[in-house]
Amino acid sequence: MAFFLRTSRIITSRSARTITQFPSKNLNIRAFTTSPTMSAIVDSHFVSQITAAEKKITNSDEPAKGGPTAAVQSHTGQELTSQVVHDITMGERKITGNDRPIQGGPTSVAQSILSGGSPTSTSNATSGSEQHSGRLDSDTIQKITEKEKQLTGQEGPVKNGPTAKAQQHANEPITSEALHDITEGEKKITGGERVKGGPTSAAQSELGKSRS
């Protein structure tokens, strides 16, 4: 009987030690797998995607006043949050008259990026082998924005400046009309002069590279 009790205690103590090991292992696994998530930023690439989605709805080259593009431009340089998406939704409602967002529309694009990560992931993926499409795509608009920032010293694009003018032609070919509009936007921030190596030059450079 005494032997049986000693054996039972040994088995019980071993079982207890075995059981108490599992929680610590689980905690270690959780600590190892937890990692911070990357936040998406409202940059020119993101704004151009919203503008392109808006143009599909309005069929207009000009972003609507108080529309989704105007709404998102007020958040340029900020982290993409649910509040930003809400403002885009309000802008979309203004141009559609519908309470529900349209599939593939500005709100849909913003929600997809918010849940999926940084809006610049596409451009980063292609940075190793840069392509020149001869269009005002997100990469070209980003270069125009960088040139504008060098002139203004501001983080966000200026209203009716070169970036804003380029976004009106988002994903369109770089034509003389598009270059003219970008130049007009550039003159707005320079006091009436076009600057060598400025936003217009950036667009012209991309056009030249696409033809070479």
Who's near 70: CB < 8 A, 6+ residues apart?
63, 64, 91
pLDDT number for residue 83: 92
pLDDT number for residue 126: 37
Q: Domain for residue 29, yes or no?
A: no
Q: Domain for residue 5, yes or no?
A: no
Could you read off the pLDDT of 56-78 as tens digits, one per residue? 888 887 888 889 998 998 888 88
User: Domain residues for 81?
Assistant: 44-119
Q: Domain for residue 54, yes or no?
A: yes
How many residues would you count in the chain?
212
Radius of gyration of the chain, Cα coordinates, nearest whole angstrom: 27
pLDDT number for residue 64: 86
Are 140 and 93 within one domain?
no
Structure tokens at 170: 């988002």
Are 105 and 48 within one domain?
yes
Are 140 and 112 within one domain?
no
Measure the CA–CA gap between 128 and 125, rounded to whole angstroms: 7
- Mapped onto helix, strand or coil, the DSSP state of residue 100 is coil
Could you read off the pLDDT of 75-96 as tens digits, one per residue? 888 899 989 999 999 999 998 8
pLDDT number for residue 118: 43
Measure the CA–CA gap between 156 and 208, rounded to whole angstroms: 27
Are 115 and 138 within one domain?
no
Who's near 27: CB < 8 A, 6+ residues apart?
none
How many structural domains compose the chain? 2
Looking at 119, 151, 168, the residue that finishes a domain is 119
- Mapped onto helix, strand or coil, the DSSP state of residue 201 is helix
Residue at token pair 């054996």: 7
What does the longest C-alpha to C-alpha distance in the chain come to? Answer: 104
Q: Domain for residue 1, yes or no?
A: no
Could you read off the pLDDT of 157-196 as tens digits, one per residue? 888 899 889 988 888 889 999 999 999 999 999 988 888 8
